[in-house]
Amino acid sequence: MLTHPVGSASCHPRAPESPFLVIYPERVRANFHALHAAMPAARIRFAVKASPVPELIRALDEEGAEFDVASIGEIELCLALGVEPDTLCYGNPIKKAADIARAYALGVRRFAFDTEDDLLRIVEHAPGSEVECRFLASAPESRTPFGTKFGCTPGEAFRLLVRARDLGLIVGGPYFHVGSQQLDPNAWRIGIEQAGRITEALADKDIHIRSVNIGGGLPIAYADPAPGVAEIAAVIDAAVTEFLPETAELVVEPGRALVGSAGIIHAEVVGVRIAPDARRWVYLDIGRYNGMAETENEYIAYRFVTDRDGDPVDEAVVAGPTCDGDDVLYQRTRVLLPTTLRAGDRIQILDTGAYTASYSSVSFNGFPPLTVHVSGAERE
């Protein structure tokens, strides 16, 4: 648990402490509207883990979103904010029996799974619930891939969904995820085609699915461009028409696509150094452990804005403030920063609304977790 939880937001976006994240709920609403316009028939299920900020959950609940929750903590957060339990899906396939029982007691009636063991736990502790079986789609690797941590084979998904029906559960349908920050629109076509084959096989067993969950992975543009939601939606729509029955609802689970562009981190330059290899290092008061976790392997290339923009620039290695040698944000990615940067200069990191505060550690090296502020226009 964060010592300064994401939920403890302030309405003072220019507070003096550094670093801090400012979230703009109206941008999240706008992103929701854009996604709904591109995919009007889809049920939009927000991945709470991307940014579990109460103001954002309230805003998306008002817009009619559902919620993908990954833990009892996220379930309790949503319910405390007035979210109806029938809009929640416990989408994490890795969960204890006690957590399933607790979720069921709190009113959750929709669960995802990818193993027989988890299926049997759901049967025992959440009888009569609706289930989605996650399979591993043959999609190209995303910018931040899951590997094989989640998802069974399509054939196993078919078998497990038949078993779910036979054990008294409601079959929602197949579920896949193409990986976070997926830049290839064809990835969704591949997954939908595989889901269609599972659906056809289930129909032969007189099981008519309610939905196909195409997960998240919708990208946003950071330093590098990304396909827009309209381009991806066109690919998805064509694949749905070709491979899925008309009666199946589409479920999409965006996180980054809704909240990524709605946040800006405000940080400070701690120091600048020329290393023995003649490379310039710029040290910030934020690093891998207090907000910048997605710079691991330099998967996500954030954009920086400084008060010295317009001065001459040169390449820089960008690092965090801790004593850990791995706390380096970019040393292979070409980052150009003003050569005039000095200790004490302010720096903004753009499009940091997703997976920053929610990834922040609990005081590694004594540095506090990232503080969150919510733009005052949305405060009650």
pLDDT value at position 16?
56
Domains of the chain with CATH codes: 25-260 (3.20.20.10), 261-378 (2.40.37.10)
Percent of the chain beyond pLDDT 70?
94
Strands 130-134 and 211-213: unpaired
Residue 10 has pLDDT above 60, yes or no: no
Percent of the chain beyond pLDDT 90?
90
11 belongs to the catalytic site: no
pLDDT digits (tens, 9 = 90+) for 234-282: 999 999 999 999 999 999 999 999 999 999 999 999 999 999 999 999 9
| pTM summary value | 0.92
Cα–Cα distance measured from residue 326 to residue 376, given in angstroms and rounded to the nearest whole number: 36
Cα–Cα distance measured from residue 74 to residue 90, given in angstroms and rounded to the nearest whole number: 9
Find, among 59, 75, 17, 67, the residue nearest to 380 by Cα: 59
Residue 171 has pLDDT above 60, yes or no: yes
Query: Residue 44 to residues 14, 104, 360: CA-CA distances in angstroms?
Result: 32, 22, 26
Query: Residue 373 to residues 11, 56, 58, 222, 358: CA-CA distances in angstroms?
Result: 6, 12, 15, 22, 13
CA geometry: angle 318, 322, 324, nearest 5 deg: 90
Mean pLDDT across the stretch 20-26? 97
Cα–Cα distance measured from residue 263 to residue 356, given in angstroms and rounded to the nearest whole number: 9
Residue 183 has pLDDT above 90, yes or no: yes
Q: Where are the beta strands (DSSP E) in 163-221?
A: 170-175, 211-213
What is residue 315's three-state secondary structure? strand
Strands 211-213 and 249-252: parallel
In three-state form (DSSP H/G/I as H, E/B as E, the rest C), the secondary structure along 75-99 is: HHHHHHCCCCHHHEEECCCCCCHHH
Query: Please, which pLDDT band fits residue 13 given cuts at 50, 70 and 90?
Result: very low
Q: What is the mean pLDDT of the chain?
A: 94
Structure tokens at 304: 């920086």
Cα–Cα distance measured from residue 133 to residue 302, given in angstroms and rounded to the nearest whole number: 34
Inter-axis angle of helices 116-125 and 154-166, to 10 degrees?
Answer: 20
